[in-house]
Amino acid sequence: MTNQDCIFCKIAKKEIPAEIIFEDDLILAFKDINPQAPSHILIIPKEHFPSLNEIPNEKKGILSHILMNIKKIAQQIGANKNGYRVVLNIGKNAGQEVLHIHFHLLSGRQMTWPPG
């Protein structure tokens, strides 16, 4: 399932270029074009889901697949050494700008709390 107007679907289909960090059959990870940390990577499923709220129970395995691969990506870029933050925004008030579920992997600087 894809959304023809979704920028992340277009990136997943390689219709729009991105600096890809990791890819397999289910997910794609690429550098954010507006980084909020020295290292800012977005991880998306290739299948279109507007947010966590729209992932049906029968597709819940994609979430563990993403999280386990975030761990691998963090190791790949060396973020596991000093720590990293994983962010999932759900909806406009949480800061979700693109309606395609995506995780942010942020590293390379001291993170603050609360985040926003």
Q: Which residues are catalytic?
A: 102
Q: What are phi and psi of 21, to 5 degrees?
A: -100, -35
Contact 112, 83 (CB under 8 A): no
Beta strands in 1-116 (DSSP E): 20-23, 27-31, 39-45, 84-88, 103-107
Contact 100, 44 (CB under 8 A): yes
